[in-house]
Amino acid sequence: MEIKIAKTAGFCTGVQRAVNILLDTARLKDPPIYTFGPLIHNPQVIAMLEQRGITALTDPDAVPKGTVVIRAHGIPPKTKKQLKKIGFKICDATCPHVAQVQSIVKSHSTRGYHIVIIGDNGHAEVVGILGFANGLGSVINSFAEIESLPPGIKKLCIVAQTTQNVSHFKKISQKIQSKYEETKIFNTICNSTYRRQEEALKIAGEVEAMIVVGGENSANTVRLAKMTAALPKPTFHIETVAELKIEELKKYDRLGITAGASTPNWIIEEVIEKLISLKQHKANFIMRYLFQGLRFLDRSDLFIAIGAFSISYAAALLQGIRPTFPLLIIPALYVFAMYLSNHLLDKNKLGSQDLVKIFHLSSYSSFRLILAMTSLILALSLSINLGLYPFLFLLLASIGGIVYSIPLIPREWQVHTQFRRLKDIPASKDIFLAGAWASIAVGIPLLCGIDSTGIHTAVCLLFIITIVFIRSVLQDIRDIQEDRIVGRETLPIIIGQEKIKLLLFFISLPSLILLFLAGYLGWTTSLSYFLSLCIFFPWIYMLFSDTSYNFDGITSKLIIDSNFIFCGLIALFWSFFF
């Protein structure tokens, strides 16, 4: 089975901007925070916002006064004045392209032009645009409705709802122009809508069936589904992965996926992952079980544990230490136990694109808790054989890892802070993970008396901290959309995606220089030259993810985490040939 994914699927810039403004407002302003109507036409996002206490304003006179965020669709100027008069603070997140349409309408209506909006009558965006027409406006969406325009009109200004069908707009506007002498036509359909529609039609022409993901009440999503269905092409319009008609889809060998401008990434990725699993059923025996095995390793946290084993192996060889089994398995067991326990503690926290994983955690929580405890006890038992200091060090690290994720402040005591856990402190996760991995991989051998502290220890620590920190930040970049919606304050959210890449560059550069310098001066083994490839690995990933190449959710996660295993494979190669 072949799956073609539209590059334009998901949040458009206007919607993403509105979501960002709302979430920044919720973070910086005192509650209550409202949106004027649903922020976007997606029930799943609205449900998440409601869990954060952000609700749509329905009756301004009946609720406590606070901040109202104007959604991307915009509102009439009269409505904005009324809200201010009542006592609400206004935060305007109107899409810049919609604001431009409003400006055109306002300018021409004051000059005596009758405004014709080609769009869906009653749609929030159309209502907002019509409010700028000073009572000289009409909304039409068919040839028949042209006849309903008021008589005696001399000058017309035609604009489009920004998510209209391009072909539909051109046909109706040309028909109107042929009936009136003075007509100004402004094609105000935004570029992202045009590209989304063009790509959907292109993909639909290359596949056997189309899947359109998005809210049933999203005008642009419904329009996409109608366009591909009119080709004609079998089209399935769904809101979530649960609505996929698997049995019907099995008969197709080529499927296309697109999504509306208000569909969040994690919903699209869940659909993609489900279709990939369907694709694997049609694949050959080896590929099918390979994919299923990788997905099992990821969801069970075994993949990250293998990564810890691999890093410990590389760290030992980098320092010239013989990598014995206890030195490698203890970090792996520790990481495995910490990830399992932290995911279990987080399973009730509304979140991210790992919703499938959260479901599995809920289904097998008792088994996973036993597995986490067993792994931790086994790691501590092995550390005892290495000596008292390694045992105490691992015990403190284990307590610290658990304390990091448990609520320290009772909910009823929480008044002026949203931070109940150390994990809630902004950007703490990336720093904690890097420090924990490095201290376990390097600290255990030191405390065993196998090694003494030296420059090679510092080189190894910096290397591990760098690659673990970069890995954690890359996962944050990947999950930024859903993290913002659920209120997680990660580094990419705090300082921005462009600045975070600059930060990663300045963090990776010292480690890269030190690895080459350590190898040249003999501070470490010559393995340091080869491990520099692990610093370049994330940058290669970012290069591909920034281009037109599409990684689905689980694939991108596995690629990011595979850098740790790549590290171990490099060390294994070096041990055989050098």
H/E run at residue 239: none
Cβ contacts of residue 349 below 8 Å, gap of 6+? 486
Distance CA 305, CA 301 (A): 7
Under DSSP, the state recorded for 435 is H
* One-letter-per-residue 3-state SS of 500-535: HHHHHHHHHHHHHHHHHHHHHHCCCCCHHHHHHHHH
Which phi and psi (to 5°) does residue 223 adopt?
-65, -40
Furthest C-alpha separation in the chain: 96
Structure tokens at 138: 């009409």
Q: How far is CA 330 from the centre of its chain?
A: 33
Identify whether the C-beta of residue 118 lies closer than 8 Å to the C-beta of residue 67.
no
Q: How many residues comprise the chain?
A: 578
Distance CA 562, CA 558 (A): 6
Under DSSP, the state recorded for 301 is T
The CA–CA distances, whole Å, from 45 to 39, 82, 463, 500, 572 equal 9, 28, 39, 26, 46
Distance CA 424, CA 431 (A): 13
Catalytic residues: 125
First and final CA of the chain: distance in angstroms?
44
Identify whether the C-beta of residue 41 lies closer than 8 Å to the C-beta of residue 322.
no
Q: For 246-335, list the strands marked E by DSSP.
A: 254-259
Q: How far is CA 453 from the centre of its chain?
A: 41
Structure tokens at 541: 């990933």
Identify whether the C-beta of residue 281 lies closer than 8 Å to the C-beta of residue 291.
no
